[in-house]
Structure 1
């Protein structure tokens, strides 16, 4: 797949998710000294699909860098927030990770 040039619609990879923090690994640092935190987020909602209510439950691996990682390291478990970011392959190549770029408590 090629990426369109300037002035052409760019591929879109933006995600928003209301979720609870259910797992937090300890804050660590990259070799360059950038703070990193890995989390697991849990979401539950009812979505209408084909005129039928569907209960959606999911857990997703998430990661945050920099000052945002430091703030998230201080959040308690089960804290429900609205997270914004993008999806990418997980660091180990297994599955998908939600890269958090911003969040706010709900």
Structure 2
């Protein structure tokens, strides 16, 4: 008898600001790609107590979304949806942006 497969989830919903944006680049397949640095601040409840949270996160957007974010001002407030993956060098977490909300 095999164990039932457990569902896995990898979805991030985040309010954030763009703090750094690199130049628009293109993948070998010709797809636009944009590397960003994002900043998030909020207050959440943990163990029944409010907690201030702040973090910076590396992110990437692909395709038309990369072009759109390439025209977005630094400091712009965004709400976005994405998923987490490894950085290219495998030494950190990278947010892959898939939708602006």
TM-score (norm 2): 0.92
Which ranges of 4 or more aligned residues in structure 1 deviate by more than 2 Å?
none
- Name the residue aligned to 2:18: 21
- Structure 1: gaps spanning 5 or more residues: none
- Name the residue aligned to 2:61: 64
**Alpha-carbon distance in 2 for matches of 1:69, 1:94:** 23
**Alpha-carbon distance in 2 for matches of 1:42, 1:79:** 11
Query: Equivalent residue of 2:95, what SS?
Result: strand
TM-superposed deviation, 1:10 = 3.1
- Aligned residues between the structures: 98
- Name the residue aligned to 2:87: 90
**Alpha-carbon distance in 1 for matches of 2:9, 2:50:** 27
TM-score (norm 1): 0.87
Query: Equivalent residue of 2:88, what SS?
Result: coil
State the superposition RMSD in angstroms: 1.2
